[in-house]
C-alpha cells in the first residue's frame, strides 16, 4: 500500500512521496473507520435489544458483543485471504 518512490529524484520527489504517503494514510484511515462503523452498526443491531431498561451493558450483551467482534474480524480476514 505504500508507494515509496523507487530511486527517483530525491529533491523533486520529496513532496511527491509525502503526498503519496499522505494519500495512502488517508485511504487507510478511511478504510479503518469505515470498517469500525460497520462493525459497530452490525453488532449493535445483532446484540442489543430494542428495549432499554437500563443504560449499562449487561453480561449477556457484553458477551454477545465480544463474539460479534471476533466473528467480524475473522470473517474479514477469511474473505480477504488470498487463496
Partner 1 sequence: MDTGSKKTETGAGSTAGASKPPRSKGYTNPALQAMGIPRLRLPSRNWSIFWALTLTVTGVYAHDRYQRKQIRQKWKDRVSHLAAQPMNPLELPRKVTVYIAPPPADYLDLGFAHFRQYIKPILVAAAIDYEVRSESRQGEIRALVAEEIRNQRRSDAGLPTTGEQNDDLDDMIASKVYRDNTGGVICVGRGAYKEYMNGLHEGWLGPLEAPVEEVSEASTNDQLPLSDSAVNSAELSSGSDANANSTTEVTSAEAATPVEGLAVSSRAASETVSSPSKGEVQTLDQAKESLESVEEFPDRERDLQDIYGQLPEKKDGEEAAGSGDAEGSEKKEEKKKVPKPYIKIPEYEDLETPAQLETLAKFEPLAAIHFPHLLGFRNTPKRMYRFFNRRKLAEEMGEATAAVVFAQTRQFKPHEDQDLLKHEENEWPAQWKAKGLETGSEWMWDFAVDERIGNKLSVYEFRDNNTTSDEFSSD
Q: Select 35 or 63, whichever has its Cβ closest to partner 1.
A: 63
Cα radius of gyration rounded to whole Å, the chain: 20
57 binds partner 1 (CB under 8 A): yes
Closest CA to 68 of 49, 50, 41: 41
78 binds partner 1 (CB under 8 A): no
Residues present in the chain in total: 83
62 binds partner 1 (CB under 8 A): yes
76 binds partner 1 (CB under 8 A): no
Q: Select 56 or 79, whichever has its Cβ closest to partner 1.
A: 56
Amino acid at each position: 500500500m505504500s508507494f515509496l518512490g523507487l530511486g527517483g529524484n530525491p529533491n523533486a520527489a520529496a513532496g511527491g512521496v509525502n503526498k503519496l504517503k499522505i494519500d495512502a494514510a488517508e485511504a487507510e484511515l478511511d478504510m479503518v473507520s469505515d470498517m469500525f462503523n460497520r462493525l459497530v452498526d452490525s453488532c449493535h443491531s445483532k446484540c442489543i435489544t430494542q428495549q432499554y431498561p437500563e443504560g449499562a451493558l449487561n453480561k449477556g450483551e457484553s458477551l454477545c458483543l465480544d463474539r460479534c467482534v471476533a466473528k467480524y474480524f475473522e470473517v474479514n480476514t477469511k474473505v480477504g485471504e488470498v487463496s
